[in-house]
């Protein structure tokens, strides 16, 4: 088998999605319009995005020995993802996410980690040693922080670039992890938590990006939803606008962004061009319902005539 250019280390979930008029407040019951299940999990979504957008990707994850785990594994094979290093947990079930989507396309998500919480650093030894010729490792924070730290250390020692999507944000994200990260991609909320800057404008995002950069991370990309993204690299701030679309569901938009970013960087695009490509892929995804069901294919990437 050819060596994949990108390794995704992360979570796999089954998403249970309810479409409702609005997201309920505590104590409120809302009658929903529709319900469906869709494969998800930040790691899985990003791996699928990479595969659909033309990248060569291996996925390292831990699934439950249950129907959700078996279904997810089969789907990864169908997407052309290298699944040699998927693990099965004999004790814990596959992760699940309960998602409510309102009429504006915004969502509220609760995740039960299941087997994802048991993806330990020792589980990754064989995979990382076999995949050390990869260009990039992409991670998120739905797996244990120690696993993220040790994977990032391995990557740095072997000259592999690390992209960290710090989602969902964790207070345990320390300097010991950040010092091994090459590119970090927080959204507006995560950037606020990392930097301590309240972000309401693009100027605020630029300030936050500089602070995060000063934590030792060379390249900072703050995603700003429909406003696009703020990139801080080489001492220069660049704003990359998003393509205007009508959003129906923002679930997995950040995952699509990160997967697309990894693909573009693996193709030796400039960071600015890679962020523009990622913004376009995310824009397509929010016009569709679901997580993996919303992820575009490479031949759909004509928003800015990027192919």
pLDDT given at position 2: 67
Mean pLDDT for all residues in the chain:
93
pLDDT, residue 303, reads 55
Tens of pLDDT, residues 94-104: 999 898 989 88
Band of pLDDT at residue 249, cut at 50, 70 and 90: confident
Q: Which of 83, 85, 146, 152 is nearest to 120 (CA)?
A: 146
- Identify whether 255 is a catalytic site residue: yes
Q: How large is the average pLDDT for residues 235-239?
A: 95
Dihedrals phi, psi of 146, to nearest 5 degrees? -65, -35
Residue 114 pLDDT > 90: yes
pLDDT for res 133: 93
Residue 222 phi, psi (nearest 5): -100, 120
Where is 94: in which H helix or E strand? Answer: none
Distance (Å, whole) CA 122 – CA 146: 10
The predicted model gives 40-44 an average pLDDT of 93
Pairing of strands 183-184, 161-164: parallel
**Which of the four pLDDT bands, split at 50, 70 and 90, describes residue 117?**
very high
Banded model confidence at residue 241, pLDDT cuts 50, 70, 90: very high
State pLDDT tens for residues 262-306: 999 999 999 999 999 999 999 999 999 888 889 999 999 865 444
User: Are 42 and 123 in contact, with CB atoms under 8 Å apart?
Assistant: no
pLDDT tens digits, 2-24: 679 999 999 999 989 898 999 99
Per-domain residue ranges for the chain? 6-24+31-300
Separation of alpha carbons 43 and 256, rounded Å: 10
Question: pTM of the entire structure?
Answer: 0.91
- Say if CB 13 and CB 98 are below 8 A apart: no
| Per-residue pLDDT at 302 | 67
User: Tens digit of pLDDT for each residue in 206-234?
Assistant: 999 999 999 999 999 999 999 999 999 99
Contact yes or no for 44/174 (Cβ under 8 A): no
Lookup: tokens for 150: 């040790």
Give the Cα separation of 11 and 68 in Å (integer): 13
135/266 Cα distance (integer angstroms): 7
Tell whether the torsion through CA atoms of 182, 82, 302 and 107 is positive or negative.
negative
Contact 7, 82 (CB under 8 A): no
pLDDT exceeding 70 applies to what percent of the chain?
97
Q: Around Cβ 157, how many Cβ atoms within 10 Å?
A: 10
In this structure, how many other beta carbons lie within 10 angstroms of the beta carbon of residue 307? 9
Beta strand 57-64 with 86-89 is: parallel
The active-site residue out of 82, 89, 255, 280 is: 255
CATH of region 6-24+31-300: 3.40.1190.20
Phi and psi angles of residue 147, each rounded to the nearest 5 degrees, phi first: -65, -40
Place of tokens 């970090």: 184
Pick from 24-33, 78-87, 194-203: least confident: 24-33
**Separation of CA 87 from chain center:** 20
With beta carbons less than 8 A apart as the criterion, state whether 274 and 265 touch.
yes
CB 301 within 8 A of CB 277: yes
| Residue 181 clears pLDDT 60, i.e. is over it | yes
Spell out a b/e string for 215-251, using b for 16 or more CB atoms within 10 Å of the CB, else e.
eebebbbbbbbebbbbbbbeeebbebebeebebbbbb
Q: Which of helix, strand or coil describes residue 249?
A: coil
């Amino acid at each position: 088998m050819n060596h994949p250019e990108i390794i995704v280390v992360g979570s796999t979930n089954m998403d249970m999605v309810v479409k409702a008029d609005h997201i309920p407040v505590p104590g409120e019951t809302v009658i929903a319009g529709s319900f469906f299940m869709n494969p998800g999990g930040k790691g899985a979504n990003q791996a699928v995005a990479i595969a659909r957008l033309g990248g060569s990707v291996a996925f390292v994850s831990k699934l439950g020995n249950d129907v959700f785990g078996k279904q997810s594994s089969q789907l990864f094979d169908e997407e052309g993802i290298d699944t040699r290093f998927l693990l099965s947990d004999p004790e814990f079930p596959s992760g699940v996410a309960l998602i409510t989507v309102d009429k504006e396309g915004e969502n509220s998500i609760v995740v039960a980690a299941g087997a994802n919480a048991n993806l330990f650093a020792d589980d990754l030894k064989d995979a990382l040693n076999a995949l050390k010729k990869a260009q990039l490792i992409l991670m998120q924070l739905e797996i244990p922080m120690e696993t993220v730290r040790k994977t990032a250390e391995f990557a740095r020692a072997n000259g592999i670039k690390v992209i960290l999507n710090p989602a969902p944000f964790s207070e345990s994200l320390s300097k010991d992890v950040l010092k091994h990260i090459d590119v970090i991609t927080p959204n507006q909320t995560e950037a606020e938590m990392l930097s301590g800057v309240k972000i309401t404008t693009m100027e605020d995002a630029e300030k936050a990006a500089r602070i995060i950069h000063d934590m030792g991370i060379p390249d900072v990309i703050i995603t700003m939803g429909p406003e696009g993204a703020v990139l801080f690299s080489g001492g220069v701030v660049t704003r990359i606008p998003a393509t205007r679309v009508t959003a129906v569901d923002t679930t997995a938009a950040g995952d699509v962004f990160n997967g697309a970013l990894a693909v573009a960087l693996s193709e030796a695009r400039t960071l600015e061009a890679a962020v523009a490509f990622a913004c376009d892929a995310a824009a397509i995804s929010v016009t569709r319902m679901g997580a993996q069901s919303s992820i575009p294919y490479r031949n759909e990437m004509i928003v800015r005539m990027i192919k």
